[in-house]
Structure formats: C-alpha cells, structure tokens
C-alpha cells in the first residue's frame, strides 16, 4: 500500500507528462513542413482550467456540495490579482505575492459564501451558488471606480518578464504551478482533511456521530476550492494581461468547469487533468480549427444560412406544419404559409 502514499499517482504523472509534451508539437509540426496549430496558448488555458476544475472537484467531488458558482471565485481571484499588480494602484506587489494574496482572498470569499449555506444541500445549494455567481459578475460590472467596469483592468504586467510571443516558456511556468497544485491536493486527499470530506459526502450523520464536525469540514472545502479557483483566475488574468470583462466569468465557465470534472470522472484529480485536456481541446483547438477549415471550403457560409433562424423561412420545407385555421394571408399565398402561430399573429403577413 506504499503506492497509495506516493506523491503522485501513475495516472497523474502520465496526464501531466502528456500535457507537457503537447506544446512541443508547435515546434515539431513546422519542422515537418506542416502548419503550426498554436498549441502552446491552448495548453496554457488547459492549465488554467485544470486548476479551476481541481478546485471545483474538492467541493463537488470530495465533499459532495454542488457548487455552480465557481466562476465567481475565478473572477474574484482575477480582480484581486489585477488590483494588486496594476500600475495605477499603489500596491504593485509582484506576481508571486499577488498570486498568494489572490488565493487567500478567494478562500475568504469561499468561506463567506459557505457560512450562510451550511445547512443547504444538493439543488438548493446549487441555486444559491448560481445566484452568487451572477451577483459577483454584476457587482464587478457596476463598481466602475474600482474595477473599470466592462473595460476590465488592463494592461497588467507580464509575469517573469515574459512577452506574449514566448508562449511555450509561459506554458511551462504555468505547468509548474499546476504540478504544485496537484501535489498539494493529493496530500489533502490522503490526509485527515480529505477523509473528513469523504465522510461528510458519504453520510453526514454518521460522520457527525464519529466526532467530525461537518460544518467546519464543509467550510474548509469551500475555502480550499475557492482559493484554487482564485489562483486560476489570477493566472488567467496574468496570461491575458487583463481581467477581461466581468461577463467572461459567467455561468458558462462554471458549467465548463463542471463538465471537466464530470468528463474525467468525478472525484479524481487524474480525471480532472484528462477532462481539462478533452474539453479545452474541443473548445480551444478543434472548434477553431474546424471552423477555419469549413470557412476555407466555403461550407461555413452555407452552414450559416442553415443555422440562422431568419433564413429558415426562405428554404423549401415540404413537411412544414401549416396553421390549422387558414388566415387570409395563407389562402392567398399558400407557398408562404406560416408555420408557427407565434410568428404570424393574425392579420399580419409574414415578411417577404
């Protein structure tokens, strides 16, 4: 059983190793005469979202609390990091101190959300956290004096003096941070803390009767998960050189993190790493690639015609349902018969 105490599981080493090799394709493909895929940037976002999803995994996978507002903590981390490093604020404490500070502020915010929701479970907790996500977004948008509103805080200084054209070096710096995060979370998983979380997830009453205090365990889970989300946000902002607008920390980011956790297998760090590669591989590499290729082939524009609802009515549609009571319009122009009552209020003619 010594294997269970080892610092990294074999699966985690394989996943991290595979991720480390991906950006090398950027060098290999042009050398082989093929088109570069710009994988370094995508790999960097894999790291950012893997850290976010590892944080979410602590809350959802280990403690069994359904949190749908994890992106809010990413936003909090990004803005805390930005405020602490932006040249127009007097802090400018540098990359590493700001990263740690962002994590602490994220943990604090997590505890702040966790405290009033201790008694909630399942769907109810999901609703509260979802609402919290929206509140944070709106607040950041509207407190313009501090957060610059929809403009976002920019430009942020690049960490380690890296410029955006050195994407590969940047990626390896981030990968090192991911390795540290995985190591720490693995420690937690096999420690007393992790055991308390699992016990609370499996049976809260039984855990309580064994002398565990579920409230404290849940708060710690919330704080730890949010701290990781905040680190992820800080890395995101640092890579972008900007916090971007508050809307980029929206509900769909929370869902993306949830997808990463679930695709890889809930509760497993290895799974999160694989899930991040799969999901970000689809959204950041395959989709842009596919849309480029389709555009090149001229299929893209055709697909647009089909996918846009406004163009739908110009297409011949033999099986289209007709209005049950024929209106004057439909009797005079059977070809343009309205196919939805909602689209053709009585008396109005469909647009030509």
Partner 1 sequence: MLVSGHVPSRQLTAGVIAGFLGVGLATAILLTIALRINDVWSASIVELVAAQQLAMQQARAAAADGAAVAPIPFDWTESARRFITTLLGGGLAWSWLPMIAGFAVGASGRAVIWSRTRRTPDVVASAGVARTFQNIRLFPELSLVENVTVGMDRRLSTGFIGSLLALPSALRERAQARAEALKLLQFVGLGEKAEDAAGNLPYGHQRRLEIARALASRPDVILLDEPAAGMNPTETVDLMRLIRAIRDNGTTVVLIEHHMRVVMGISDRIHVLQYGEKIAEGTPTEIRNDPKCIEAYLGKEELG
Chain residues binding partner 1 by CB under 8 A are 1, 5, 83, 87-90, 105, 108-109, 111-112, 115-116, 118-119, 144-146, 148, 151, 155, 184, 187-188, 190-196, 198-199, 202-203, 205-216, 219-220, 224
204 or 336: CB nearest partner 1 = 204
Longest Cα separation, the chain: 83
175 or 188: CB nearest partner 1 = 188
Q: How far is 113 from 334, CA to CA, in rounded Å?
A: 59
109 or 337: CB nearest partner 1 = 109
Q: How far is the CB of 41 from partner 1 (least distance, A)?
A: 24
Q: How far is the CB of 153 from partner 1 (least distance, A)?
A: 10
148 or 248: CB nearest partner 1 = 148
Enter the DSSP assignment of 145.
Answer: H
238 or 338: CB nearest partner 1 = 238
Q: How far is the CB of 325 from partner 1 (least distance, A)?
A: 58
Q: How far is the CB of 119 from partner 1 (least distance, A)?
A: 7
Please name the residue that has the structure tokens 């389709």.
294
DSSP assignment string, 155-186:
PPPPGGG--TT-HHHHHHHHHHHHHHHHHHHH
Q: How far is the CB of 276 from partner 1 (least distance, A)?
A: 22
Q: How far is the CB of 150 from partner 1 (least distance, A)?
A: 11
Q: How far is 151 from 96, CA to CA, in rounded Å?
A: 25
- Residue 45 Cα distances to 187, 265, 280, angstroms: 24, 20, 7
Enter the DSSP assignment of 341.
Answer: T
Asked if residues 237 and 76 have their Cβ atoms less than 8 Å apart, the reply is no
Q: How far is 25 from 44, CA to CA, in rounded Å?
A: 14
Asked if residues 25 and 179 have their Cβ atoms less than 8 Å apart, the reply is no
Q: How many CB atoms lie within 10 A of CB 115?
A: 12
42 or 200: CB nearest partner 1 = 200
Q: Find all residues with CB under 8 Å of 104, minimum gap 6, and list them.
A: 227
Q: How far is the CB of 80 from partner 1 (least distance, A)?
A: 9
58 or 71: CB nearest partner 1 = 58
Please name the residue that has the structure tokens 């990781």.
228
Q: How far is 172 from 233, CA to CA, in rounded Å?
A: 18
Asked if residues 8 and 256 have their Cβ atoms less than 8 Å apart, the reply is no
Q: How far is the CB of 173 from partner 1 (least distance, A)?
A: 22
Structure tokens given for 201: 């997830």
Q: How far is 136 from 147, CA to CA, in rounded Å?
A: 12
Q: How far is 233 from 254, CA to CA, in rounded Å?
A: 12
198 or 251: CB nearest partner 1 = 198
210 or 303: CB nearest partner 1 = 210
């Amino acid at each position: 059983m010594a294997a269970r105490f080892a610092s990294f599981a074999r699966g985690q080493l394989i996943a991290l190793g595979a991720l480390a090799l991906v950006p090398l394709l950027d060098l290999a493909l042009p050398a082989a005469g093929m088109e570069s895929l710009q994988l370094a940037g995508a790999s960097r976002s894999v790291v950012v979202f893997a850290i976010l999803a590892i944080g979410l995994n602590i809350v959802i996978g280990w403690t069994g609390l359904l949190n749908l507002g994890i992106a809010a903590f990413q936003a909090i981390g990004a803005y805390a990091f930005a405020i602490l490093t932006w040249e127009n604020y007097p802090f400018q404490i540098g990359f590493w101190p700001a990263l740690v500070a962002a994590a602490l502020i994220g943990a604090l915010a997590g505890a702040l959300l966790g405290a009033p929701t201790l008694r909630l479970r399942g769907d109810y907790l999901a609703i509260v956290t979802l609402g919290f996500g929206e509140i944070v977004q709106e607040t950041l948008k509207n407190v313009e004096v501090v957060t610059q509103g929809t403009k976002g805080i920019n430009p942020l200084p690049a960490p380690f003096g890296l410029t955006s054209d050195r994407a590969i070096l940047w990626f390896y710096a981030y990968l090192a941070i991911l390795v540290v995060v995985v190591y720490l979370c693995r420690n937690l998983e096999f420690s007393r803390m992790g055991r308390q979380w699992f016990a609370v997830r499996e049976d809260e009453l039984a855990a309580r009767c064994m002398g565990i205090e579920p409230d404290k365990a849940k708060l710690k889970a919330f704080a730890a998960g949010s701290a990781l989300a905040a680190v992820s946000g800080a890395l995101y902002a640092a890579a972008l050189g900007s916090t971007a607008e508050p809307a980029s920390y929206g509900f769909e980011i929370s869902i993306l993190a949830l997808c990463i956790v679930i695709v890889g297998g809930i509760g497993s760090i290895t799974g999160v790493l694989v899930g991040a590669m799969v999901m970000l591989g689809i959204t950041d590499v395959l989709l842009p690639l596919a849309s480029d290729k389709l555009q090149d082939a001229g299929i893209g524009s055709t697909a647009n015609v089909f996918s846009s609802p406004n163009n739908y009515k110009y297409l011949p549609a033999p099986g289209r349902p007709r209005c049950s009571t024929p209106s004057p319009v439909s009797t005079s122009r059977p070809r343009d018969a309205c196919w939805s009552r909602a689209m053709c209020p009585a008396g109005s003619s469909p647009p030509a």
